[in-house]
Amino acid sequence: MPNRNDGRDSSTGNGDSNANGTITTSITILPSNNPVATITISRPAKLNALNSHLLTALPTTIQTLTSSHPNLLAIILTGAGPKSFIGGADIAEMAAIPPNPAAARIFISKVHAACKSIRDCPVPVIGRINGLALGAGLEIAASCDIRMASSNALLGMPETRMGVPSVVEAALLPGLIGWGRTRRMLLLGDTIGAREALEWGLVEKVVEPEELDGAVAGWIECLDKSGIAAVRNQKELIGRWERLGLNAAIEAGIDHFGRAFEADGKGVGGVEGSETEPGRMMGEFLRRKKGGENHAAGKTQSPNGIRLPFAQSFTTDRQ
């Protein structure tokens, strides 16, 4: 992604020397002037394991980013170092929980709150899985909208081997990989490699470690071709689809389609339809078509020779 502005604009803790770990953020400004945020979980000495400090800081960080950057395009979530995305919840902290179910519920509720902050985030969150994603780390990854994994990543849910069940956002796994594979992973405490995770549908793309940043940038470029409001609208609707039956989900889609055509105050005087994001984007498409301009993606053709506008944006990122 060009036009980088990598100055850290928020942080928790005092750097990697802090045993509690840190969460840092950076902002990249795209040529479109849309900002993209990167959130890095940094506790490499503990494989970026999540303790109460980090679990509490993550929702606050996401809230700060979205409120400080109204036109934020997306968030990239990753772990510090080449070994681990998030190695799980902090075992030492869990081992110190007293024989008190209420205390245990307080800790695991923090894991849920961190995952929920990702799912509730109004912009897409891309999981940049650069290594181990275990237990709570896999639940964080599953909460992301789309996931890109390094070929050396390992993903698993080993909680039963530590005497506890996999809970909270582990409930997302059946929707991603099916009930059979969920049972295998959770009951056996199984760990799988990135390529198998891709076959299962647990991640959407796998690349070599040195290609990870470029591949994530490719996804960002695809998002940047869409309307910011449309992408946010779509994320919210997908979240509703997950919770609704088919008929209610279809009705929700009709509502969200109507919302897309609300005036947003960005219209251009004298330009018909410019009061809405789809009006501007569709109008620009029609003007290019009328003027004989070919969108770069418009050159893609299906096997029967029919031109497919914009198809290149989607096909180039498939594994």
Residues with catalytic roles? 139, 159
DSSP state for residue 160 in the 8-state scheme: G
CA separation for the pair 95, 44 (Å, rounded) = 20
Half-sphere exposure of 64 (CA within 13 A, CB side): 16
Measured at the CA of 14, the angle between CA 11 and CA 20, to 5 degrees, comes to 95
Half-sphere exposure of 24 (CA within 13 A, CB side): 15
Overall residue count recorded for the chain in this entry:
319
CA separation for the pair 54, 114 (Å, rounded) = 9
DSSP state for residue 9 in the 8-state scheme: E
CA separation for the pair 200, 197 (Å, rounded) = 5
Helices 277-290 and 228-243: crossing angle, nearest 10°?
Answer: 120
Amino acid at 100: N
CA separation for the pair 86, 277 (Å, rounded) = 37
Amino acid at 260: A
Amino acid at 12: T
Pairing between strand 4-12 and 22-29?
Answer: antiparallel
Exposure of 263 by Cβ count < 10 A (0-12 exposed, 13-18 middle, 19+ buried)? exposed
- Cβ atoms of 230 and 278 within 8 Å: the answer is yes
